[in-house]
Amino acid sequence: MCIKLIKIEFEVKDETMKYVVDLEKRHCTCNIFDIDKIPCIHAIAAAKYIKRDENRYVNTSHLTETWAKAYAENIHPGGELSTSTYPANIDELSSPPPATKERSGRPPTKRKRSVGEFGVPGSKSQSHKCSRCGIGGHNKITCKRPIG
């Protein structure tokens, strides 16, 4: 990525696009920074360029301290536990899990990639090539070149 400083804004270029990042306003033209309130890859690159920690640009609603304060006290959705009454036949009542159908085939073992990961240099999604002849566009099972 190429980064250029424009006043207090940064112009971050990748292979195809240019993005303008304003770290103080917490804005990027890709709109991921604006919506998620977490720095996008362009904002992280701009923060690294000026040698600042990118974690300081995360919105306070995502911080551990905020979540700890929000859930510091016990939550009782039905009111106070000491005043709650239960029916006498509570042990006889049951709620079985919903009927589900087992999926056919082998379960996936690899994790699903997020939107921003596809096409990252060095990733498997970047390019595929035949392990026998080394040419892209096919694999060794469909390779038409002679062995040898």
**Domain map (residue ranges) of the chain:** 1-63
State the pLDDT confidence band at 4, using cuts at 50, 70 and 90: low
d(C-alpha 48, C-alpha 116), whole Å: 19
Q: Where are the beta strands (DSSP E) in the chain?
A: 2-6, 9-13, 18-22, 27-28
Q: What is the pLDDT of residues 81-131, one digit of tens each?
A: 677 777 788 878 888 888 888 889 998 888 777 766 665 555 555 567 888
Strand order of the β-sheet with 27-28 is 2-6, 9-13, 18-22, 27-28
Range 19-36 average pLDDT:
91
Is-contact 51 44, C-beta < 8 A?
no
Q: Is the pTM of this model over 0.85?
A: no
* Both tokens assigned to 122: 């060095």
Is-contact 113 124, C-beta < 8 A?
no
